[in-house]
Amino acid sequence: MTDMPKEAGRVALVGAGPGDAGLLTLKGKEWLERADVVVYDHLANWNLLRFAPGGAERIYAGKAAGQATLTQEAINALLIEKARQGKTVVRLKGGDPFIFGRGGEEAQALNEAGVAFVVVPGISSPIGVSAYAGIPLTHRNYSSSVSIITATYDASHDGLRIDWEKIASRSGTLVFLMGARKLPEIVANLTRFGKDPGTPVAVVQWGTTSRQKTWTGTLETIVDIAMREKIAPPALTIIGEVVNLRPLIQWCERMPLFGKTIVVTRAEDQSASFIQALEDKGAEPFCFPVIRTVPPEDWAPLDRALGHLASYHGLIFTSVNGVRFFMQRLIETGGDIRELRGVRVYAIGPQTALRVKELGIPVDVVPENFVAESLLDSLAAEGGLAGRRFLLPRAAVAREILPDTLRKRGAHVDVVPAYQTLRTGVETDALRKRLEDGAIDAITFTSSSTVTNFLELAGPSLRPLLADVKIACIGPITAETARAAGLNVAIVPDTFTVAALVAALEQQLRG
């Protein structure tokens, strides 16, 4: 029997947008989710890599400070090589692949090699950055045209290869990409060919990210401003009367957490709502998932409990994960939630209670405070516990105060592992760079396991870099773990929920 031919690979040239991870298109996200290999640029938001499967190969091919990790020819060869191995390759490029992104060259190389490819457009930096800076590139009263120009050198010419006379004569908006270092040359040439020195100019650095900064002036003043402020790449320059509209319609920089970068350490599959809440406040979440939840090593203890659910007086859920894995296993073993009829259901925390209710199971008790100690108070208020049977499906490793106290009061408690929490293998290089640059404002912890696993991943070398970063914990138990580990906890909300944690971050961090 002959071997079946290996399925041909393909390449997706995906525009990552200008910086904000939320500006990735749905189609771009879909391609990342099925990628075997991701080849990404310096300006592609690192957070986007979380959409790729855990086993996908990640290859950095960026250019920073004028130094390229790989030449363009090497990148072309890499894409071809990986695709010929039958892999789905995502070439993740900052902005749009075809707007000064050299995507056209990559597409040509793939075509010549006979490799199938698709192009997924992205929001280019002129569009995204100008919008986040509050500058419309066109306006019926100011500009009816836009010229987008790259300010990088042509290798075969001494200087910028631009027809300055024609560019200077245009009446619409001019946008220069990658022009931070060439600003004096740009200004000199425009004014030399007749552009009014009083023409408004805006320079936007790190547009659409938490590091966004915008400076405004005129052709006459902007170079001095840039020198004084030491404006460095990546930066985009907008020239034209539309710049004068910025004071009227800027919005991004007015958001309460604008300019703040907040590390999210919770499990990736549980972080979406937290990330969304932070983005709604203008913050840039930095995804650094240090834990993942997986099935327990042995289902047998839970399976035995599921076999006689009706024998319990109470079912206690202490987390959303406990609910998820409990129900998953109940369904897999052919169980029936109707067996819970007559069993009182207890849930610690509103999100846990909501997840239970979504499954069609009524919740009898949600304690006032979202910790085990508060549930003990609620149970005590119900009367005697002696002889009552409770099922507690939870993490394989957890605090023992709840079952121990119930047993001391005469109850029988079956503690069964419904899941286990494991440390991830997330890379620390990007986090280290941000910390070294002073570009992290807060690190959040939503459980004791996130604290311990973060510190194990970070190692002792990162400890000194945490001194000026605010540590935020969702509740007192998590905060106690962090303090015991030597962290200086600055933020603990009064209510132990993600929404309250975001509100506390806003109160502490807003300028």
Domain presence at residue 4: no
State residue 370's pLDDT score.
Answer: 67
Report the pLDDT averaged over residues 88-99.
96
Q: What is the mean pLDDT of residues 291-302?
A: 94
Instruction: Render pLDDT for 410-438 as a digit per residue (tens, 0 to 9).
Output: 999 999 999 999 999 888 988 999 999 99
DSSP state of 392: E
Residues near 202 by Cβ (< 8 Å), separated by ≥ 6?
A: 133, 135, 214, 215, 216, 237, 238, 243, 246
Confidence of residue 2 (pLDDT cuts 50, 70, 90): very low
What is the rounded distance in angstroms from the CA atom of residue 285 to the CA atom of residue 441? 10
Residue type (1 letter), 82: K
Tens of pLDDT, residue by residue over 185-230, are 999 999 999 999 999 999 999 999 988 999 999 999 999 999 999 9
Within-domain flag for 5: no
SS3 89: strand
Residue 155 predicted with pLDDT over 70: no
The verdict on 308 and 241 lying in the same domain is: no
pLDDT at 8: 77
Q: What integer is the mean pLDDT of 142-157? A: 79
Question: Of 254, 280, 306, which closes a domain?
Answer: 254
Instruction: Tokens for 326, please give them.
Output: 């409990």
Long-range contacts: 81-86, Cβ < 8 Å, 24+?
Answer: 82/9, 82/11, 82/36, 82/37, 82/39, 82/57, 83/8, 83/9, 83/10, 83/11, 83/110, 83/115, 83/116, 84/9, 84/113, 84/115, 85/9, 86/6, 86/7, 86/8, 86/9
Amino acid letter for position 433:
K
Average pLDDT over residues 370-389: 82
- Assess contact for 52 and 32: CB atoms under 8 A: yes
Rounded to 10 degrees, the C-alpha dihedral 105/108/112/117 comes to: 110
Q: Is the pLDDT of residue 38 over 80?
A: yes
Q: How far apart are CA 284 and CA 290, in angstroms?
A: 18
| 306 in any annotated domain | yes
Last residue of a domain, one of 366, 389, 423: 423
Q: What is the 3-state secondary structure (H, E, C) of 256-302?
A: CCCCCEEEECCCHHHCHHHHHHHHHCCCEEEECCCEEEECCCCCHHH
Buried b (16+ CB within 10 A) or exposed e, 28-57: beebbeebbbbbbbbbbbbbbbbbbeeebe
Token digits of residue 402 = 């709840």
Q: Please tell me whether residues 405 and 367 are part of one structural domain.
A: yes
Last residue of one domain, picked from the residues 123, 143, 174: 123
pLDDT-derived band at 67, boundaries 50, 70, 90: low
- Report yes or no on 3 lying in a domain: no
Q: How confident is the model at residue 66 (pLDDT cuts 50, 70, 90)?
A: low
Residue whose tokens read 């399976």: 303
Using CA atoms, how far apart are residues 382 and 412, in angstroms rounded to an integer? 16
Instruction: Round to whole Å and give the CA distance between 324 and 475.
Output: 22
Residue 332: band (very low, low, confident or very high) from pLDDT cuts 50, 70, 90: very high
- 238 and 330, same structural domain? no
pLDDT value for 154? 53
Do 468 and 430 fall within a single domain?
Answer: yes
Q: Which of 234-248, 345-359, 374-388 has the highest mean pLDDT?
A: 234-248
Task: Report CA 412 to chain centroid distance, whole Å.
Answer: 43
Residues 327 and 410 in one domain: yes
Specify whether 341 is located in the same domain as 277.
Answer: no
Question: What DSSP character marks residue 3?
Answer: P
- pLDDT, one tens digit per residue, over 224-274 is 999 999 999 999 999 999 999 999 999 999 999 999 999 999 998 889 899
Which residues are paired to 422 by β-bridges?
292
Stretch 365-392: mean pLDDT, rounded?
A: 83
What pTM value is reported for the model? 0.83
Residues 346 and 311 in one domain: yes
CB 276 within 8 A of CB 264: no
Number of structural domains, the chain?
4
Angle subtended by helix axes 272-280 and 498-509, to nearest 10: 30
**Which CATH number characterizes residue 182's domain?**
3.30.950.10
pLDDT of residue 371: 72
What is the reported pLDDT for 105? 96
Contacts of 292 (CB under 8 A, 6+ apart): 267, 268, 269, 421, 422, 424
Residues 166, 193: Cα–Cα separation, whole Å: 9
- Domain residue limits at 48: 10-123
Q: Are 94 and 126 in contact (CB under 8 A)?
A: no
Does residue 223 form part of some domain?
yes
Give the Cα separation of 351 and 322 in Å (integer): 12
Per-residue pLDDT at 159: 59
pLDDT at 179 over 90: no
* Tokens 């009182």, residue located: 344
Which uninterrupted H or E stretch holds 408? helix 401-408
Same domain assignment for residues 60 and 95: yes
What pLDDT band is residue 383 in, cutting at 50, 70 and 90?
confident
Query: Could you tell me if residue 35 is inside a domain?
Result: yes
pLDDT at 46 > cutoff 80:
yes
Say whether pLDDT at 379 is over 90.
no
How far is Cα 245 from Cα 249, in angstroms, rounded to an integer? 6
Same domain, 275 and 333: no
Q: Is residue 2 part of a domain?
A: no
For residues 282 and 256, the answer to whether their CB atoms sit within 8 Å is yes
Q: Does the pLDDT value for residue 497 go beyond 80?
A: yes
The whole-number average pLDDT for the span 305-328 is: 93
The CATH number given to whatever domain includes residue 428 is: 3.40.50.10090
Q: How many CB atoms lie within 10 A of CB 86?
A: 13
Q: Are residues 84 and 151 in the same domain?
A: no
The pLDDT of residue 382: 81
55 found inside a domain: yes
Question: Do residues 42 and 80 both lie within one domain?
Answer: yes
Enumerate the active-site residues.
41, 63, 178
User: Which residues are CB-contacts of 399 (< 8 A; sequence separation ≥ 6)?
Assistant: 372, 477
Taking CA atoms, 23 is separated from 45, 287, 367, 407, 414, in Å, by: 10, 16, 40, 52, 47
Nearest to 233 by CA among 178, 152, 153: 178
Res. 3: pLDDT tops 60: no
**pLDDT band at 1; cut points 50, 70, 90:** very low
59 and 107, same domain (yes or no): yes
